[in-house]
């Protein structure tokens, strides 16, 4: 320590002197008076909303979104057949939220159907806007399915008619999980407001699916809310199956002999590339004439199966029959030969 910064132990230091003692040494200033800035490692900052906890990763939500895209496509076709009128559906959002936030976001009045899916635990909520529900009932009663203005609760007859449509939605949703577990839905009650629903604790996590529905001139949203503890067993099986399909390559199938092949008959013949004759020589041939052939020709007999050359063999006698002993298999480039009319076949 330099003399100017050193004091006897009996003397006290003021605040300014203490700061000078603990301050880091100044950086060396290069010529020109410019000090190079020291690069600082960039740190990624991610926002976290503790009021909306997320129990599913982005990859898991993506898999659920793909599964529900299939569900919406099949549901649109099935509802169109049932109502005899085109029903357009698409996924508006798929997210996790709390039960209290889900019920607080429901409009009032509206049509809420409480349902249970056996053998899963918990109860779900299916919300259908009154205008869309009344349009469905109008179509089921023989109308044109036009949009009916009126924010009111449904009557008992309208509720019974709409329940048929809601059961189709729930059955189609359950059919998307048939590879994981067979499910059976059942409607257990109806409500007109979400303020007094107590099917789950307010802090319970809910998987919320919002669909945009276009039916005639009516455009409304359909909301499906299921507690996460209800969907969790299905989601785990789905993720495990998709992961297995993505990582495990299918084993190549071995060729096996099938009993049905036993009675299939394939024409087999043997032939030689013997010699070439002119038309005049062929015209002069008579019964009893001898055509000379090279002795090595017998060892170059081609065996054809169904008209295609497959093997090369040697012609000989086996007791009282003429036989061909196969010596080698022909390669693909050797399988071309001439037909009797001079054409090449492979």
Residue 137 lies in a domain: yes
Euclidean distance between CA atoms 309 and 302, whole angstroms: 6
Tell me whether residue 174 is in a domain: yes
Q: Are residues 236 and 143 in the same domain?
A: yes
- Kindly state whether residue 42 falls inside one of the protein's structural domains: no
Contact 283, 252 (CB under 8 A): no
Say whether both 241 and 322 belong to one domain: no
Locate 25 and state its tokens: 């040494």
What CATH number did the domain enclosing 158 receive?
3.40.1550.10
Count of the separate structural domains present in the chain: 2
The range of the structural domain enclosing residue 320 comes to: 297-346
Distances (CA, A) of 128 to 123, 153, 174, 302: 17, 11, 18, 77
Residues 213 and 335 in one domain: no
Statement to judge: residues 66 and 195 lie in one domain: yes
Q: Per-residue pLDDT for the chain (346 aa), expressed as one digit of tens each?
A: 444 445 554 455 566 665 666 665 555 545 555 545 545 455 566 555 555 445 566 777 777 888 888 889 999 999 999 999 999 999 998 888 899 999 998 988 889 999 999 999 989 999 998 889 989 998 998 888 776 776 778 889 989 999 999 999 999 999 888 888 889 999 999 998 888 888 888 888 898 999 999 998 888 999 999 998 888 888 888 777 777 766 655 667 777 888 888 888 888 888 887 778 888 888 888 888 888 877 777 888 888 888 888 888 888 888 888 888 888 888 877 765 555 444 554 4
Centre a 10 Å sphere on the Cβ of residue 210 and count the other Cβ atoms it contains. Answer: 16
Residues 183, 309, single domain; the answer is no
Question: Do both 330 and 231 map to the same domain?
Answer: no
Flag whether 2 is in a domain. no
Contact between 169 and 68 under an 8 Å Cβ cutoff? The reply is no
Question: Do 181 and 304 share a domain, yes or no?
Answer: no
Q: Judge whether 49 lies within some domain.
A: no
213 occurs within a structural domain:
yes
Pick from 334, 315, 312: nearest CA to 324: 315
On whether both 181 and 318 belong to a single domain, the answer is: no
Q: Is the same domain home to 330 and 217?
A: no
- Check residue 76 and give its pLDDT: 93
**Residue found by looking up tokens 């394939």 in the block:** 266
């Amino acid at each position: 320590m330099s003399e100017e910064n050193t004091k006897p132990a009996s003397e006290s230091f003021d605040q300014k002197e203490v700061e000078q003692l603990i301050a880091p040494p100044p950086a060396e200033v290069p010529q020109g008076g410019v000090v190079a800035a020291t690069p600082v490692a960039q740190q990624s900052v991610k926002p976290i909303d503790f009021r909306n906890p997320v129990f599913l990763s982005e990859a898991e939500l993506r898999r659920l979104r793909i599964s529900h895209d299939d569900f919406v496509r099949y549901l649109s076709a099935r509802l169109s057949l049932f109502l005899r009128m085109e029903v357009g559906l698409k996924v508006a959002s798929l997210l996790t939220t709390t039960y209290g936030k889900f019920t607080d976001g429901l409009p009032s009045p509206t049509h809420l159907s409480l349902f249970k899916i056996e053998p899963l635990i918990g109860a779900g909520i299916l919300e259908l806007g009154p205008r869309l529900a009344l349009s469905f009932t109008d179509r089921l009663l023989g109308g044109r399915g036009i949009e009916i203005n009126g924010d009111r609760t449904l009557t008992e007859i309208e509720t019974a008619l709409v329940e048929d449509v809601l059961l189709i939605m729930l059955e189609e949703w359950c059919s998307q999980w048939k590879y994981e577990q067979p499910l059976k839905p059942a409607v257990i009650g109806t409500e007109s407001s979400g303020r007094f629903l107590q099917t789950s604790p307010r802090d319970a996590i809910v998987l919320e699916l919002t669909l945009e529905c276009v039916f005639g001139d009516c455009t409304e949203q359909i909301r499906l809310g299921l507690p996460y503890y209800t969907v969790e067993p299905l989601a785990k099986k789905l993720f495990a199956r998709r992961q297995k399909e993505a990582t495990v390559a299918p084993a190549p199938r071995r060729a096996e002999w099938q009993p049905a092949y036993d009675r299939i008959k394939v024409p087999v013949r043997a032939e030689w590339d013997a010699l070439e004759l002119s038309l005049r020589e062929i015209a002069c041939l008579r019964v009893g004439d001898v055509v000379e052939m090279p002795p090595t020709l017998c060892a170059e007999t081609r065996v054809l199966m169904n008209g295609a050359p497959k093997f090369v063999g040697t012609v000989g006698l086996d007791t009282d029959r003429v036989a061909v002993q196969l010596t080698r298999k022909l390669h693909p480039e050797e399988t071309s030969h001439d037909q009797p009319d001079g054409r090449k076949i492979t």
